[in-house]
Amino acid sequence: MTQLQINEVAPRDGFQSEASFIPTADKIRLIDALSVTGLARIETTSFVSPKAIPHLRDAAEVVTGIQRRTDVGITVLVPNVKGAERALAGGIDEVNLVMSASDSHGLANLRMTPTQSLEQFAAIIEAVRDHPQGRAVFINASLSTSFGCPFEGEVPQARVFELIEHQLALGVQGVTLCDTTGMANPAQVARLCEAAQSRFPDTPFTLHFHNTRGMGLANALAAWQTGITRFDASLGGLGGCPFAPGATGNVCTEDLVHMFEQMGVATGVDLDALLAASAILPDLVGHETPGQVVKAGKADRQYPIPSR
């Protein structure tokens, strides 16, 4: 059985949604703690304009300050050519480009239609490949609203595949299918994942689920049952989307790992070390986090018999 690859996104997707800025030193300490847990990749930050996302204004300091390990890929989100150049200067392993599958969400979230995003992708990919540090960098594209748009509703599968074809033609090497506001259900996930892997058999797909409506783990299980082995997840379940107010965030890393490990599916992740990292999050972010296993303990935990 193929071991799963878990990509941790809390330092980027989680922290950018917090009410307060997380100090740079604290970010670095958390990423260093996560890097020894067996995670395949860590999305550490985004090289976006500090005016757009002030919480990630320390992107360069974070990337250059963390301890690097050969067995953990360091991923960053880059929105444009300038961001890509800054990221490459930090010696990252992977760039993640983001676009939406729907016009309305693209304009609301990125101020670009999918067509305009693809034009931006082309410029970024050219800049990465022309850079001396960029030849070994993996290029991934995240396709938001792959399972539905909060403004338009269902996004046709044909539309998702059309955009993936354009991405691959530009030089994208991996694709993340994103359930941006938690609209997906397991049956839908299974259909899209089966069809995507059949149509693009040489493309590594990652699945990115939100737990907005409580179906994050169920959707991850449905994806795995079709052969998907790469998943995004966020420590403590941090993160969210501005178009789903009050919702919980991304599927929780430790809950996802716990589920698969209880099923006998290898993740390569040290769950105890992951739970230890998750336990410090409330003090770090100033509030409780949605993750469940860190509160209840692992399912094989032995409790003392209550005295009468």
Active site residue 241: yes
d(CA 75, CA 127): 17
CB atoms within 10 A of CB 247: 17
Structure tokens at 286: 């100033």
Looking only at Cα atoms, what is the longest distance across the chain? 72
H-helix or E-strand containing 308?
A: none
What do you get for the CA distance between the two ends of the chain, in Å?
A: 46
Is the alpha carbon torsion for 83, 9, 118, 114 positive or negative?
Answer: negative
Give the three-class secondary structure for 118: helix
Residue 56: φ, ψ to 5°: -110, 25
Residues near 75 by Cβ (< 8 Å), separated by ≥ 6? 7, 41, 42, 43, 44, 92, 93, 94, 95, 96, 140
Calpha distance 290→219 (Å, rounded)? 17
Residue 179 CB neighbours (<10 A): 31
Q: Report yes or no: 137 and 108 within 8 Å, Cβ to Cβ.
A: no
Of the candidates 202, 183, 181, which has an alpha carbon nearest to the alpha carbon of residue 248?
Answer: 181
Q: Which of 149, 178, 193, 241 is catalytic?
A: 241
Count of residues making up the chain = 308
Between CA 120 and CA 125 the distance in angstroms is 9
Catalytic positions? 241
